Amino acid sequence: MKTFLHVADIGDLQTALNEAAEIKQDRYKYEHLGHHKTALLIFFNNSLRTRLSTQKAARNLGLDVIVLDVNQGAWKLETERGVIMDGDKSEHLLEAIPVMASYCDLIGVRTFAGLVDREADYTEKILRQFIEYSGKPVFSMESATAHPLQAFADLITIEEHRTKARPKVVLTWAPHPRSLPQAVPNSFAEWMRAADVDFVVTHPHGYELDPLFVGDAKVEYDQFKAFEGADFIYAKNWSSPGVTNPADYGQILSKDMSWTVDAAHMAVTNNACFMHCLPVRRNMIVSDDVIESERSLVIPEAANREISATVVLKRLLQDNF
């Protein structure tokens, strides 16, 4: 594995889950792999869980870690080629990438979707430049269209809590006051399709996910119907992916509060576990009582971010050095 963006990059999922279980037993088992190597974690956007869990994972593997917040303390970076740089951006990404790469062995990048230009976002314009010009193994810490470290942690969490061979897993859209990217639902859909689960997506019309990620997964527009018999409810807001109407890309098409996951929704499930990647807006996405219930997995799910990141960084070290 030289890059980590899609589920295919990790190979056989059961093997990856076995590695996750092994690392959970002994987080420092592969501490020797990172000796005298450095991971550079570059954040173009805010983060709590990814920032902390990826640093912890790197240290589990004996790596040194450098964290760069591009928009706090570094020169402002121009990302478009051909621009006359007479504005406030002092450095071009095309110089910055090889310079940053010269100080490290692995690069993690967080760069959110702009939600204006669908093509730029869905071709992963910024992440692809890191892959092309750094010459180093690159992994996504949430890019424009995907959040694979989150989806892998979600899969580990489902594996740990499932009580049947093939659980029903429902991804549900829920309302939010701001326009959010599709990275988390895209990756969750991609990873659930690859896993052995009965996967259903529910959202209002206009929120259809890109076929690259959602494939032929079942879509049910009636949220209560989708929830019936579910074993896991995974809530997330996303803005319109612009699949049915390109002009809607990045737009908020609904703030329908009847989609908020509350006790009435959970009552039609098979005593489902509740999941969300966090951060979460309470009483927009999910009611207080549901997120605080004993069926809520949001904290162990976030804790598993350390485990998914340790597996991914371990693979990058083993496969490239």
Give the binding site for ligand CP (CB under 6 A): 47-50, 142, 150, 277-279
Closest to ligand CP by CB, 33 vs 156, is: 156
* Element at 68 (helix H, strand E): strand 64-69
The alpha carbon of residue 132 and the mean position of all alpha carbons in its chain are separated, in whole angstroms, by 22
Q: How far is the CB of 238 from ligand CP (least distance, A)?
A: 14
Q: How far is the CB of 277 from ligand CP (least distance, A)?
A: 4
Closest to ligand CP by CB, 122 vs 152, is: 152
Closest to ligand CP by CB, 246 vs 279, is: 279
Backbone angles phi, psi at 54, to 5 degrees: -75, -35
Q: How far is the CB of 29 from ligand CP (least distance, A)?
A: 25
Give the angle 114-49-260 at the CA atoms, nearest 5°.
70
Six-digit token pair at 134?
């750094």
Q: Which residues of 234-261 are buried (b: 16+ CB within 10 A; e: fewer)?
A: bbbbbbbbbbeeeebbbebebeeeebbb
Backbone angles phi, psi at 171, to 5 degrees: -95, 115
Q: How far is the CB of 229 from ligand CP (least distance, A)?
A: 27
Instruction: Confirm if 23 and 156 have CB atoms less than 8 A apart.
Output: no
Q: Which residue sits closest to ligand CP, CB atoms considered? A: 50
Residues 6 or more apart in contact with residue 299 via CB below 8 angstroms: none
Secondary structure letter of residue 262 according to DSSP = -
Closest to ligand CP by CB, 30 vs 173, is: 173
Closest to ligand CP by CB, 37 vs 304, is: 304
Q: How far is the CB of 107 from ligand CP (least distance, A)?
A: 17
Closest to ligand CP by CB, 33 vs 172, is: 172
Q: How far is the CB of 273 from ligand CP (least distance, A)?
A: 17
Give yes or no for a cis peptide into 279 (omega within 30° of 0).
yes
